[in-house]
Structure 1
């Protein structure tokens, strides 16, 4: 049974995570401490979405973790913007000389021209770019679905570049 506070008319709960012992807020729970007619509609912060990636370079890992934390608190625009920024950081980590203002297209072209990403991965990076551009340059907020897509595609890119490569290089 979850530890927390709930009353008869309360439709929310603050509980402590058994893993990190920090509080998390639930709204509209079913079955724990609230009536059955309510369902879970919100948890803040939620479990960090996205994959746990073990072999990210030190200049990439903090940004990816930040994007996951943003998603867990429903900061969708920030998530999408960070995923776009990660692509530039990947290019710099892979050898693109870092001038003060690396243009996004230069970073993507570098990744493609130096065979860091597969030929068919350009469409993946373009989808991250389009969502990230909306986050950076347009007034409407990024939707939850677009933020999830951006984080998923970013994780897939990072997994292929770093985790898969590390496992392939490991000696049996």
Structure 2
């Protein structure tokens, strides 16, 4: 489940692969919880202090431009679905969890993949 994303830092790659593996074995609640956690990983990787609140991390991503205004709606889907998975008893369903994973994959592509490709294609011989 989910596609490969090149250029991810190790901890984020591990968390994303865990979310993908969870979805692959129908552990959809766990997949959504990991997608929520990935938001925190990205914020810390992009300069936020460790040990802050989840809301702080989301604000950091927006304030630093990693989540642009057009992206806020679908990043909020990751947040809200992850919150449901963490704080409510009913399990996540397949369609919602796969949507959450798709949005997480796209966020990772926008934050990391393009920077990774730019470094490859602009490297001096």
State the Cα distance separating 1:136 from its structure 2 match. 0.3
Q: 2:24 aligns to what?
A: 72
More helix by share: 2
Q: 2:109 aligns to what?
A: 159
Q: Which TM-score applies when normalising by structure 1? A: 0.68
State the Cα distance separating 1:170 from its structure 2 match. 2.4
Unaligned runs of at least 5 residues, structure 1:
1-48
Contact kept? 1:59, 1:93, Cα under 8 Å: no
How many aligned residue pairs are there?
122
Matches within 5 A, 1:141-156: 141-156=91-106
Contact kept? 2:6, 2:116, Cα under 8 Å: no
State the Cα distance separating 1:110 from its structure 2 match. 0.2
Runs of 4 or more above 6 Å deviation: none
Q: Distance in 1 between matches of 2:57 and 2:73?
A: 15
Point out which structure has higher relative CO (alpha carbons under 8 A, 6+ apart).
2
State the Cα distance separating 1:165 from its structure 2 match. 1.8
Q: Secondary structure at the match of 1:139?
A: coil
Q: Secondary structure at the match of 2:121?
A: coil
State the Cα distance separating 1:119 from its structure 2 match. 2.1
Structure number with greater Rg is 1
